[in-house]
């Protein structure tokens, strides 16, 4: 679940270790159906950005990467985004299963 990862990223931000938080993911589903609010698909990055804002993270410090479709896509697009922003170092927050996979792609 994304909530513990966002909470951890917020703690890193508050310690000054992560000035920008990049949130990744795809459309959220409940019982196999997309979650929609007034014709807006709820994506994991959108949901987690709302949570991060509740924790006090300014919107300008959040970057939503909604293109990924897999762990590989997360790694590929985030790497591209970081390089475009001139960032050459990052802390990756995920669960152990995905961390193993991300380390292969980066």
Domains of the chain, first to last: 2-105 (3.40.50.620)
Q: Note the pLDDT tens digit of each residue in 49-89.
A: 999 999 999 999 999 988 877 888 888 888 899 999 998 88
Residue 40, both tokens: 């807006």
Does residue 96 carry a pLDDT above 90? no
What is the pTM (predicted TM-score) of this model?
0.79
Round the average pLDDT of the chain to a whole number and report it. Answer: 84
Q: What share of the chain is helix, strand, coil (3-state, %, to 5)?
A: 50, 15, 35
- Give pLDDT, residue 36: 63
Alpha-carbon gap, residue 106 to 79, rounded angstroms: 8
- Could you tell me which of 55, 58, 52 has the C-alpha nearest to residue 24? 52
- Could you tell me which of 67, 11, 16 has the C-alpha nearest to residue 44? 67
- Give pLDDT, residue 71: 81
- Give pLDDT, residue 99: 77
Question: Would you tell me the crossing angle of helices 71-84 and 96-105 to the nearest 10 degrees?
Answer: 60
């Amino acid at each position: 679940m994304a909530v513990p990862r966002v909470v951890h990223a917020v703690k890193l931000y508050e310690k000054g270790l992560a000035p920008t938080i990049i949130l990744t993911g795809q459309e959220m589903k409940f019982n196999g159906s997309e979650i929609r609010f007034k014709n807006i698909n709820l994506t994991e990055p959108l949901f987690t950005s709302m949570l991060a804002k509740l924790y006090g993270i300014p919107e300008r410090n959040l970057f939503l990467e909604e293109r990924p479709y897999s762990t590989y896509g997360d790694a590929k697009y985030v790497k591209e985004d970081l390089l475009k922003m001139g960032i050459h170092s990052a802390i990756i927050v995920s669960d152990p299963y995905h961390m193993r996979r991300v380390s292969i792609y980066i």
